[in-house]
A and B are shown apart, each in its own frame.
Chain A
Amino acid sequence: MTSRIVPLMRKEALHILRDPRSLYLALIFPVLLLVVLGLSITFDIRHVEIGVVDHDGSQAGRDLIGRLQASEYFDVKEVTRDDGEGERLIRRDKVKIVIVLPKGFGRSLAKGETARVQVLVDGSNNNTAQVALGYLGGLFQSVSTRILLDRASAQGLSAVPGIEPRIRVWYNPELRSTNFIVPGVIAVIMMIVSTMLTSLTIAREWEMGTMEQLIASPARAIEIVLGKAAPYFVLGLLQMALVVVSAEIIFRVPFKGSLLTLLLSSALFLLCGLGVGLFISTISRSQQLSFMLGIILTMMPSFILSGFIFPIASLPTAARIVSYVVPARYFLTIIRGCFLKGNGLAVHGTEFLALAVFTVVVFLATARRLKLRLE
């Protein structure tokens, strides 16, 4: 068996080496993608532009504006007395939030009454809107607390009970989103690249008619499959190493786990991706179609149904069920656990098993389909 696989692997390796541009792209592209994704996807929402329509002009209103200005979360762009101007600010995309302080705002507060404040929000980016509203709610609460404390001391109460939240964040204390995104990017890139590379090369053989020659040779289906996959497996490991090293150099993501866990899990995951690529190539005979199928079957699910950016728990039920057959989901859990929590095989046994099962199934299915086509 090996006597037939080795020449096939040699042939495939020669193919890779003979097309320097593709090789170059295969090695540079993942790093470029890493940089672009790592830099562009941040959720560190700070300095949300805010406008204030102040109908009151009281000291209390100015205090509130001062608090907004002092907060790192907001950036007060404009203070006006005109309602129309406030709405224009949102319409022209100059600010995301406008706070309208009504007449009598300061007087209500001074009397110890609840002052109503109108908040206009541009909801078109719902994530930013949600986070910003959270910040704003916190700010209003702290104003309320301040007033209560002032009133207590005015009443001569020296001790006022209260609860102070102390938040402790594990694994990623500064809540840097790069620490979350970059390990995920590694997984997504590996999935895309490994699938695309294999499916495209085989489609090319079909297009050029050399696949028939391979089939006419005495090699068995499973041998063809393995012979095709092996060189890309090596190339994939090389890419993986390159991406991990660049991730460490450029983004300085903490790496708390063991290299062995990383190596084992990425090898398994690569096999998975290669399997999917080979499977696609048994469906499609043109490069164009393979590419599109690659995008639909691997790229989109790896991006969206894997927990890469969007939490799996928030997916609609049907999508959550589908996510169980997205291999990136399992690898993401492993690689994030490995990078940030220092988890090893023991913690992520289930995920390893899932990846292994997926890989075996995909390879068997591919060999079967290929055999059908040979006959």
Chain B
Amino acid sequence: MRTILHFARKEFIQTFRDKRMLIPIFLSPVIMLVFFGYAVNIDVTHIKTGIVDYDRTAESRALVEAFAQSGPFEIVAERPESNAFDPLFQKGSVEAVLVIPSGFSRDLDRGERVPVQMILDGTDANSALIIQGYAMGVINDRSIRIMARVLRRTPEGFISPEIRVWYNPELRTSVYMVPGIISLILLISTLILTAMAVTRERESGTLEQILVSPVRPLELILGKTIPFMAVGLADVVIVVAAGRLVFDIPFRGSLAFLFLAAFLFILTTLSLGLLISTVSRTQSQALMTAFFIIMPAMLLSGVFSPIETMPKAIQYFTLINPLRYIGRIVRGIMLKGSGLDLLWPEMLALLGISLILITVSALRFKKYLE
């Protein structure tokens, strides 16, 4: 036990001797929070909209006005001809153009259903999809009003939805992102620190010295990993506190449960870090290998993009990704206040994965030392 503590102390001192290392370890959670919590915003607003009104009647102006008043559309230009917008589209200075045909008002008076064209820049497929929805909404609403006028009834639709949003009533992006950052920070910091710690000793030749000393492999492993477990848990505290204080992210569940889950998850990342160090000769190799694992793990976890929209084969692949489970657990605890009664399948999966990884890495590490 004493040996382990000595080791842990040495590892702490070594990691933090370079004062600049404090920056990435403790500043990187903060920076990620700023990026993901503050900057990221999926809302589609300020849609640069162009208008071509061939009709120029009160009725056509009313439609233009409906767009201007709707909120997301920002009318930036009006041109007499629709092809005047071609260069603007090319440059990306407009994203949507509404084209009202001539005779719009006259045809409506005759009781016809008049087509109105909306041209969208589809380059950004996600935004375009949302813009399409907005545009249809505005046009249909106008249409229903005109129909209602003719039929002499109040100008509202027949189904009036009363929307209640749970967990994130203002639909803020930061509420979705910040819990995700916790899992990500844990993965990145603990995995890289562990992977580098052993390779550094190997690169500088001190690993041999340790091996000839009476330290047992288990003591070496624990001594090497305990400090990083502490770093990981500290990162959890930082992100939860900053999320709460700065971004006003709710924390509805139990903190103890979150720590338990984080502990399980860090076990998997520490094991992975040890595994990487057994297959890397230099620190830069270890770094690249870690990066090689981090990127897919991060992207195929459902933490930042929903798993349901991924191809089927990839969806199965995510089942072995520990980040998938911790991501769901953290979100469940923070946003929904879920407990073990709902999250036990995820906890079980995390436990299983960590046991497997610990066994594999311990075996490999032992062989590696011998």
Chain A contacts to B: CB under 8 angstroms: 19, 21-22, 25, 29, 32-33, 36-37, 39-47, 64, 90-92, 109, 112-131, 133-138, 140-145, 147-149, 151-152, 155, 157-173, 175-177, 179-180, 196, 200-201, 204, 207, 284, 286-289, 291-293, 295-296, 300-301, 304-305, 309-311, 313-316, 319, 333, 336-337, 340-341, 343, 347
A134's partner among B110, B134, B309 (CB-CB below 8 A) is B134
- The CA-CA distance from A131 to B48 in the complex, in Å, is 19
Are A143 and B159 closer than 8 Å at their CB atoms?
Answer: yes
Q: Name the residue in A22, A130, A138, A333 with the highest tally of chain B Cβ atoms < 10 Å from its Cβ.
A: A130
B144's partner among A44, A141, A200 (CB-CB below 8 A) is A141
A161's partner among B36, B112, B188, B311 (CB-CB below 8 A) is B112
- The CA-CA distance from A239 to B56 in the complex, in Å, is 54
**What residues of chain B lie closer than 8 Å to A22, measured between beta carbons?**
284-285, 288
Are B158 and A170 closer than 8 Å at their CB atoms?
Answer: no
- The CA-CA distance from A171 to B335 in the complex, in Å, is 39
- The CA-CA distance from A162 to B167 in the complex, in Å, is 38
- Given A32-B292, A288-B283, A176 and B45 contact (CB-CB distance below 8 Å): no
- The CA-CA distance from A157 to B111 in the complex, in Å, is 9
Are B163 and A119 closer than 8 Å at their CB atoms?
Answer: yes
For A26, the closest partner residue in chain B by CB is B288
B163's partner among A121, A143, A196, A286 (CB-CB below 8 A) is A121
For A146, the closest partner residue in chain B by CB is B158
For B204, the closest partner residue in chain A by CB is A207
Of the listed stretches B5-13, B147-155, B218-226, B238-246, name the one at the interface; the rest are far from the partner chain: B147-155
- Does B192 sit at the interface, judged by CB under 8 A? yes
For B318, the closest partner residue in chain A by CB is A40
8 Å CB interface, B333-355 against A: 335-336, 338, 342
B38's partner among A138, A169, A292, A319 (CB-CB below 8 A) is A319
Known: A126-B42, A130-B42. 20 other contacts (CB 8 A): A29-B291, A40-B310, A45-B309, A64-B159, A114-B159, A124-B336, A130-B130, A159-B112, A161-B114, A163-B115, A170-B120, A172-B128, A289-B24, A295-B28, A304-B39, A310-B39, A313-B48, A319-B39, A341-B90, A343-B90
- The CA-CA distance from A336 to B166 in the complex, in Å, is 37
- The CA-CA distance from A171 to B124 in the complex, in Å, is 10
Are A304 and B40 closer than 8 Å at their CB atoms?
Answer: yes
Are A121 and B165 closer than 8 Å at their CB atoms?
Answer: yes
**What residues of chain A lie closer than 8 Å to B21, measured between beta carbons?**
286, 288-289
- Given A134-B137, A310-B41, A180 and B126 contact (CB-CB distance below 8 Å): yes
Chain B contacts to A: CB under 8 angstroms: 18, 20-21, 23-24, 28, 31-32, 35-36, 38-46, 48, 63, 89-92, 107-130, 132-137, 139-144, 146-148, 150-151, 153-154, 156-169, 171-173, 175-176, 188, 192, 196, 282-285, 287-289, 291-292, 295-296, 299-300, 305-306, 308-311, 314, 331, 335-336, 338, 342
Q: Top 7 nearest A-B pairs by Cβ distance?
A: A159-B111, A134-B133, A172-B122, A292-B24, A123-B168, A43-B126, A144-B157
Are A311 and B127 closer than 8 Å at their CB atoms?
Answer: yes
Are A314 and B147 closer than 8 Å at their CB atoms?
Answer: no
A25's partner among B35, B192, B292 (CB-CB below 8 A) is B292
For A113, the closest partner residue in chain B by CB is B158
Q: Name the residue in B40, B90, B122 with the highest tally of chain A Cβ atoms < 10 Å from its Cβ.
A: B122
- Given A131-B133, A163-B139, A145 and B160 contact (CB-CB distance below 8 Å): no
- The CA-CA distance from A119 to B335 in the complex, in Å, is 19
Are A137 and B133 closer than 8 Å at their CB atoms?
Answer: yes
- Given A32-B296, A42-B310, A123 and B167 contact (CB-CB distance below 8 Å): yes
Q: How far is the CB of A265 from chain B (nearest CB, A)?
A: 16
- Given A40-B299, A129-B171, A131-B129, A114 and B160 contact (CB-CB distance below 8 Å): yes
- Given A180-B125, A292-B28, A117 and B161 contact (CB-CB distance below 8 Å): yes
Q: How far is the CB of B161 from chain A (nearest CB, A)?
A: 5
A119's partner among B43, B161, B172 (CB-CB below 8 A) is B161
- The CA-CA distance from A167 to B138 in the complex, in Å, is 13
For A45, the closest partner residue in chain B by CB is B309
Are B92 and A333 closer than 8 Å at their CB atoms?
Answer: yes
- The CA-CA distance from A318 to B288 in the complex, in Å, is 33
Are B125 and A163 closer than 8 Å at their CB atoms?
Answer: no
Are B287 and A200 closer than 8 Å at their CB atoms?
Answer: yes
Are A33 and B295 closer than 8 Å at their CB atoms?
Answer: yes
